[in-house]
Structure 1
Amino acid sequence: MFTKRNFRSFKSLLPGVEMRPLAFEEKTILCEFKLEKGSELPSHSHPYEQTGYLISGRLNFRIDKEWIIAEAGDSWCIPENVEHQVDVLEDAKVLEAFTPIRPDYLPDENA
């Protein structure tokens, strides 16, 4: 799939956390996230490898037991089933890829 210009809308996942799928195929999905200052992604894990890049903003990021302040230009890769969480310190824009593909992040049939 090639996406020249994304036409999909953002959908709310949690208060202050919005996501839209950009491009996907059978094994990988690339998503854009908008995160509002003060919001949080609570501690969780999932069966997907997660690779991300922080375009703008600042995040207090925990991967397993290590806390890291992520700033624009930082990137990460979280293995499957590793616990992680995020506190949003400044409004942020993030790109993340997940493999295998996350069915819950696929666009609606009509979108």
Structure 2
Amino acid sequence: MMPDHYTLPDDITWTEVAPGNRRAVLSHRPEMMLVAFSFEPGAIGALHSHPHTQVSYVAEGAFDVTVDGITTRLDAGSSFIVAPNLVHGVVALEKGLLIDTFTPRRDDFL
């Protein structure tokens, strides 16, 4: 039996968020959460806001990322940060993977 502070690939459950976009909660505690978002080419992470600070790492692919009305093209190896309540979203230009950290945890994802 694995302690709670480890997550193995077989423990991960993917949830469809929108067409071509799915997420998996990788690890979490009340004060922080790590989430993977997988995108098919052209999939959209719709503009939205939330009270959490978010840091995102582009693990694979390329995205047009909009934060607070400014859109920037980001490729694998890039990252971005979103302050609480700022409107943000992404468009996948190719198949891609974002790794997001939220503080505090996004209870709506559990």
TM-score (norm 2): 0.90
Counterpart contact for 2:7–2:26, Cα < 8 Å: no
Amino acid at match of 1:82: L
**How much identity, in percent, do the aligned residues show?**
27
Which aligned runs of 4 or more in structure 1 are off by greater than 3 angstroms? Answer: none
What is the aligned counterpart of 1:79 among 75, 83, 98?
83
Query: How far did residue 40 of structure 1 move?
Result: 0.7
What is the aligned counterpart of 1:2 among 2, 5, 10?
5
Partner Cα separation in structure 2 for residue 24 and residue 54 of structure 1: 20
Find the counterpart in structure 2 of residue 49 from structure 1.
53
Instruction: Give structure 2 stretches of 5+ with no counterpart.
Output: none
Query: How far did residue 4 of structure 1 move?
Result: 4.5
Query: How far did residue 85 of structure 1 move?
Result: 1.6
Partner Cα separation in structure 2 for residue 76 and residue 70 of structure 1: 9
Find the counterpart in structure 1 of residue 21 from structure 2.
17
Residue correspondences, number: 106
Partner Cα separation in structure 1 for residue 17 and residue 108 of structure 2: 10
RMSD: 1.1
Instruction: Give structure 1 stretches of 5+ with no counterpart.
Output: 107-111
SS for the counterpart of 1:82 is coil
SS for the counterpart of 2:36 is strand
Partner Cα separation in structure 2 for residue 43 and residue 32 of structure 1: 18
Amino acid at match of 1:89: L
TM-score (norm 1): 0.90
Counterpart contact for 2:21–2:39, Cα < 8 Å: yes
